[in-house]
Structure 1
């Protein structure tokens, strides 16, 4: 396997499945100048990265038992690794320990969106902190990424985060983005129609006109609706409070 191919595989595994240029390219990401050891990953990453989005399970007690061992050095090492698994765990542990000095690191990670599967956890952490700086990062993210319907990132989860925060703060940040949110959904619908036509043409060539028409009929009858729901983030905030207070 050549080096370029291996690099592509490594990037994909790390979560860099969509490489894009953005208005945030000038921001400097926090990155390690060393590799994390297997022992470190076994202790801090593997037991938690797939579990943190759940609000029950043995991982919660495991986290409590490790809480006193969480240090800024640990969270910085996790946040500085170019991988969605390590970065999400790092952000989560940072919130548990109330390392507010790391908010800008997490904020830059959110804005640059260098790896997938991470933005929802960053948004959760920012909702947990619930201060002006974290809310500004959420608004800044939406100001930009709601204008990028072709990028299926974490727009929905960040919108839900603002709905949640508006509910407890008595603010109205969500409505500032509502028009652009609805436009993004409509634009995505149009993008889907174009992709469906392209797919139908392939089906026509491979399976015939009848199959292609059946495919288009099925997709055209699909009505896309998205209801913003704060149940997940509400439950997660309760759990984070429990872990911080333990």
Structure 2
């Protein structure tokens, strides 16, 4: 068993069906982590995305809730499945979990899902996250994912929520310069969302 032992057979069943499945030799959650599937060859990426879309259609809301109450791998996978299937009724749950930032890596999935929903409500969650965690140079959490998701929403909706964070000398620059490798925000969420929509 890959995850911490649990006496809950229902949880283990859902994990084994949606988090652990191996496609092309790698577990689903590992391909989602950091958007690793973007680096696959097309021959590997296509079946992975087909499997991901099928899982997003098949999983029930109750099963997603079970995963969201588990550890980071399950939460990361659940958030991706929610984003792919655009189950917007999970918005507040994911937004609150993003702000809480209790577990490593799972915030990547929350940011992806909020970007997929793409509304003002989603932008406000992402902006609140950046407002809180860009003021914490000691926290290298999911700031890159959040700013990329916010830029994605801005580009689709014609809004400017990310602008105030990106002014010269502003919050992003200060936080970034406090890290080991100062960086310019990347638009990688655009590519992730495009692949999620791709018919291939």
> Which SS does the other structure have where 1:173 is aligned?
coil
Residue from 168, 172, 183 that aligns with 1:226:
183
8 Å CA contact 2:98–2:110 kept in 1: the answer is: yes
Query: Structure 2 CA distance, aligned partners of 1:132 and 1:72?
Result: 24
Structure 2: give runs of 5+ residues left out of the alignment.
22-27, 39-44
Query: In the alignment, does 2:40 pair up with 1:49?
Result: no
- Which residue, out of 93, 102, 106, partners 1:114? 102
1:200 aligns with: none
- Pick from 165, 168, 176 the counterpart of residue 185 of structure 1: 176
Q: Aligned partners of 1:160, 1:64: CA distance in 2, in Å? A: 22
Aligned-CA RMSD value: 2.3
Cα distance in 1 between the residues matched to 2:75 and 2:30? 12
Distance 1:240 1:148, change over 3 A: same
Q: How does 1:200-211 map to 2 (within 5 A)?
A: none
Q: Any conservation in 2 of the 1:164–1:234 contact (CA below 8 Å)?
A: yes
Q: Spell out, residue by residue over 1:126-184, the C-alpha distance to the aligned partner (whole angstroms, 9 max, x if none).
A: 11100111111001001110100001111122112222222222222112112111122
Contact 1:70–1:97 (8 Å) recurs in 2: no
Q: Under a length normalisation based on structure 1, what TM-score does the superposition of the two structures give?
A: 0.65
* Structure number, greater radius of gyration: 1
**Counterparts of residues 93-242 of structure 1 (less than 5 Å):** 93-178=81-166, 179-186=170-177, 188=178, 224-230=181-187, 232-242=188-198
Q: Structure 1 residues 176, 65: CA separation in 2 closer, same or farther (over 3 Å shift)?
A: closer
Using a 3 Å threshold, how does the CA distance of structure 1 residues 184 and 128 change in structure 2: closer, same or farther?
A: same
What number of residue pairs does the alignment pair up? 177
- CA-CA distance at 1:57 after TM superposition: 4.8
Structure 1 unmatched runs, 5+:
1-12, 15-33, 193-223
Label 1:161 to 1:65 Cα distance change in 2 as closer, same or farther (>3 A). Answer: closer
Q: 1 CA distance for matches of 2:131 and 2:55?
A: 38
C-alpha deviation, 1:36, in angstroms? 4.5
